[in-house]
Amino acid sequence: MDSHATRPGSAVLPGWFHGEALLMQPTLPQPLPVDPAWFSAEQMDRLGRAPAAVVFSPAERRVMRKKKAIRPSVWAERHRVLPDSASYSGKWRNSTVPYLPGIMDASFFNSVQEIVICAAPQTGKTEVNYTCLGYAVDRRPGNALVVFPDQDQAQDNCNDRIQPMFEDSPRLRRYLTGRQDDQAAKRLRLKNAIIYMAWANSASKLANKPLPYVVLDEEDKYPVTANKKEGSPADLAKKRTRTFAHMRKIWRTSSPTVEAGPIWMALTTECQLVFDYFVQCPHCGAYQKMVFTGIRWPEDVRDPLRMKAEQDCWYECRGCDVRWDDGDRDLAVRAGEWRDRDKGRGLDTALRSLQPVSIGFHIPSWLSPFVHLWEVAQAWLETDGGRNKIKLRDFRNGHAAEPWQALSAERSEDRILSLADERPRGVVPGGGRVACLLAGVDTQDDGFYYEIRAFGYGLERESWGVREGKVPTFEALAQVLWQDEYRDADDQVYRVLLTLQDAMGHRTAEVYDFCRQHRGMILPTMGKQTMATPHTYSKIEFYPGTKKPIPGGLQLLRFDTNYFKNQLAGLLEIEPGDPGCWHYHGQVTRDWAFQMTVEGINEKGFWDNPQGKANHAWDCSTLLLVAHDVRGVAFFPKPDPDAAPAKPAKRAVQAPAKINLW
């Protein structure tokens, strides 16, 4: 044993702590931490009991008497005070967030070393971390490391959550040293333990001192590059706790991001037991796992804003079909319990029978007293039936607490080719369906990729590819856009109403000149990853990098690439025959189709092209949707078919230009 053992009164219980163990203060002897009802006899032996040789002072015995063993949830109701910055403040009540106490108690079940909490935001999940830290300090002290995604969050959480937890609770306050320098933003030095704060890319901080407690907060938000050489933060945490094998606890708490993200991998592949929360109907008493499909609203409500305004939403009990409002839902959660995914056993039974080392909990938002049922419905309606991919990702991560699958895996070139119809290249669909032609141009050093597309009337944005390809020069581009004619089967001629050209990165000054010479027909554009509005104009007076004025100036159209790429991805999922389909003509090439598949949504929710493959078709298509929005094509009035027949299409005076069908 180390030098602590020779000091009078330093009552380190053999078997309970290992190796050099803890920074024990002589005035704060070890509590008697065990609850026979919770631990088996065999575990009790392993934990050890106070050896007869240790002599306690009367003061120590008084402290120890007060510390009768209690579960963390019971401790929390007695000693935990929530700071004002929490979801709710004041004394902790287990009934407020009824699914959390079970997780706290299970955390300190003897066999358990790793606790994975995969939860939606606003479920109170971090309170488990903090309460367990407080309990640990009071009941089984040991040093702790709390890891946040970045330094700011580490400091904020230390200042706003962890320090106030100790200051606000009379029980925990006694562990503060009263020395200002012990309450730094990077660590909190207590009388009997130190809580270290770290952030994900301070890998060295994760690797040094051994300690028994590690909290990994919002693990899926850690930078991916952080610890490639040293291993993941979870691996490092396990290494640091290795010497405390029988008392260590590692809490991993996060909202999920993608399937391969750490929290989803941990929940689905590393946990020996995964628990789901079953609620109990306050009307019929039936237990059930709350699922999203149980959340209902009137069928005609499709607009998320209307949902927000009317808040007409309920949960339908699978036992009795009674509609729960938020209040019933809260009652049902309060009467609920955790059950293991495998055999449906309750928490105690499952823990006792399997003695698991690692356990996981899954918490969707609709269990939370801080989330209204209508908010879940609203978030779903915002996905537009799953077509808006960013909103769908937000819904899955933020409400269902499930991972998002990268989109690129969902789109294949065969899928794109299946959108082709029978039309030859260059032919516009007839029958009065087409409101106008639009074009998008992707500028390269050696030429221009373009697509000309026919758009239908209405908000559905149904569209038909007419012609696409690459031309080598501005002259050839002008020919394709404004001199060649595009006709439908009835010989009606259609002109390209608006062309948008990418002006950034390649040949900007030349693009400006080209757009200036064809004012009213083409606009230069600049895509940005996120903007406050889908698109906006800015006037440019000078050629890039010069003081040379642009004659007459030029409007540059800036647009939100993510916004329009989301729309595009949604449109590409519509089946031919359904309104809004993104059709191709019958001669579209496999290469063009492939270019529509290379971009995907990354873990930050932005579209990118990770392998840098050719994606000109995708960029042209995005510009087409911007053009559709800019010109307000969705609001073009559809000609009345019963009105007098329109004048026969004006035949071109000259012989129609031959359309190159290459």
Applying CB under 5 A, the span of 141-149, 169-177, 275-283, 412-420 interacting with Zn ion comes to: 275-283
- The residue among 605, 595, 656 whose CA lies nearest residue 395 is 605
Under the binding rule (CB under 5 A), the answer on residue 323 touching Zn ion is: no
Nearest residue (CB) to Zn ion, 231 versus 319:
319
CA atoms within 13 A on the CB side of 331: 14
For the chain, state the CA radius of gyration: 32
Applying CB under 5 A, the span of 234-242, 282-290, 433-441, 550-558 interacting with Zn ion comes to: 282-290
- The residue among 321, 329, 237, 337 whose CA lies nearest residue 277 is 337
Among 320, 489, 646, 652, indicate the residue that binds Zn ion (CB under 5 A).
320
Question: Please, are residues 474 and 512 in contact by the beta-carbon 8 Å criterion?
Answer: no
Least distance in angstroms from the C-beta of 324 to Zn ion: 8
Applying CB under 5 A, the span of 285-293, 392-400, 528-536, 612-620 interacting with Zn ion comes to: 285-293
Least distance in angstroms from the C-beta of 277 to Zn ion: 17
Nearest residue (CB) to Zn ion, 76 versus 281:
281
Among 22, 247, 281, 588, indicate the residue that binds Zn ion (CB under 5 A).
281
Nearest residue (CB) to Zn ion, 286 versus 301:
286
Nearest residue (CB) to Zn ion, 286 versus 659:
286
Nearest residue (CB) to Zn ion, 284 versus 409:
284
Nearest residue (CB) to Zn ion, 93 versus 283:
283
Least distance in angstroms from the C-beta of 280 to Zn ion: 9
Least distance in angstroms from the C-beta of 367 to Zn ion: 17
Among 9, 121, 294, 319, indicate the residue that binds Zn ion (CB under 5 A).
319
Least distance in angstroms from the C-beta of 320 to Zn ion: 3
Nearest residue (CB) to Zn ion, 315 versus 559:
315
Q: How many residues contact Zn ion, by CB under 5 A?
A: 7
Report the distance separating Cα 573 and Cα 619, nearest Å.
17
Nearest residue (CB) to Zn ion, 55 versus 284:
284
Least distance in angstroms from the C-beta of 282 to Zn ion: 8
Applying CB under 5 A, the span of 109-117, 173-181, 278-286, 420-428 interacting with Zn ion comes to: 278-286
CA distances from 352 to 7, 34, 43 (A): 38, 15, 11
Read out DSSP for 169-187? -HHHHTTB---GGGB-SSE
Question: Please, are residues 29 and 50 in contact by the beta-carbon 8 Å criterion?
Answer: no
Least distance in angstroms from the C-beta of 286 to Zn ion: 5
Least distance in angstroms from the C-beta of 296 to Zn ion: 14
Nearest residue (CB) to Zn ion, 319 versus 430:
319
Applying CB under 5 A, the span of 284-292, 333-341, 375-383, 515-523 interacting with Zn ion comes to: 284-292
Among 224, 260, 284, 305, indicate the residue that binds Zn ion (CB under 5 A).
284
Report the distance separating Cα 330 and Cα 543, nearest Å.
62
Token pair, residue 401, equals 């607490």
Least distance in angstroms from the C-beta of 287 to Zn ion: 10
Read out DSSP for 381-449? HTTTTTTSHHHHHHHIIIII--PBPPGGGT--HHHHHTTB-SPPTTBPP-TT-EEEEEEEEEEETTEEE
Residues 6 or more apart whose CB falls under 8 angstroms from that of 144 comprise: 133, 136, 137, 193, 194, 195, 196, 211, 212, 213, 214, 215
Site for Zn ion, residues 138 to 177, rule: CB under 5 A:
none
Applying CB under 5 A, the span of 263-271, 281-289, 634-642, 651-659 interacting with Zn ion comes to: 281-289
Under the binding rule (CB under 5 A), the answer on residue 317 touching Zn ion is: yes
Least distance in angstroms from the C-beta of 54 to Zn ion: 55
Applying CB under 5 A, the span of 74-82, 315-323, 543-551, 607-615 interacting with Zn ion comes to: 315-323
Nearest residue (CB) to Zn ion, 239 versus 283:
283
CA distances from 245 to 230, 242, 249, 556, 569 (A): 21, 5, 9, 63, 49
Token pair, residue 35, equals 């609850």
Site for Zn ion, residues 494 to 553, rule: CB under 5 A:
none
Read out DSSP for 542-563? E-TTSSPEEEEEEEEEEEEHHH
Report the distance separating Cα 133 and Cα 155, nearest Å.
17
Report the distance separating Cα 129 and Cα 162, nearest Å.
10
- The residue among 409, 386, 405 whose CA lies nearest residue 397 is 405
Nearest residue (CB) to Zn ion, 288 versus 602:
288
Nearest residue (CB) to Zn ion, 203 versus 286:
286
Give strand pairing partners of 444.
447
**Per-residue binder mask for Zn ion (CB under 5 A), 175-204, x = binder:** ------------------------------
Least distance in angstroms from the C-beta of 288 to Zn ion: 8
Nearest residue (CB) to Zn ion, 324 versus 450:
324
Residues 6 or more apart whose CB falls under 8 angstroms from that of 588 comprise: 416, 417, 420, 425, 465, 468
**Per-residue binder mask for Zn ion (CB under 5 A), 286-305, x = binder:** x-------------------
Question: Please, are residues 189 and 197 in contact by the beta-carbon 8 Å criterion?
Answer: no
Q: What residue spans of 70-185 are helical by DSSP H?
A: 72-79, 100-107, 125-139, 151-157, 163-168, 170-173
Neighbours of 499 (CB within 10 A): 26
Report the distance separating Cα 282 and Cα 329, nearest Å.
8
Least distance in angstroms from the C-beta of 294 to Zn ion: 11
Report the distance separating Cα 383 and Cα 585, nearest Å.
29
Under the binding rule (CB under 5 A), the answer on residue 231 touching Zn ion is: no
Among 283, 296, 334, 528, indicate the residue that binds Zn ion (CB under 5 A).
283
Least distance in angstroms from the C-beta of 285 to Zn ion: 7
DSSP annotation of 660: P
Report the distance separating Cα 144 and Cα 563, nearest Å.
43
Which residues are near Zn ion by CB under 5 A? 281, 283-284, 286, 317, 319-320
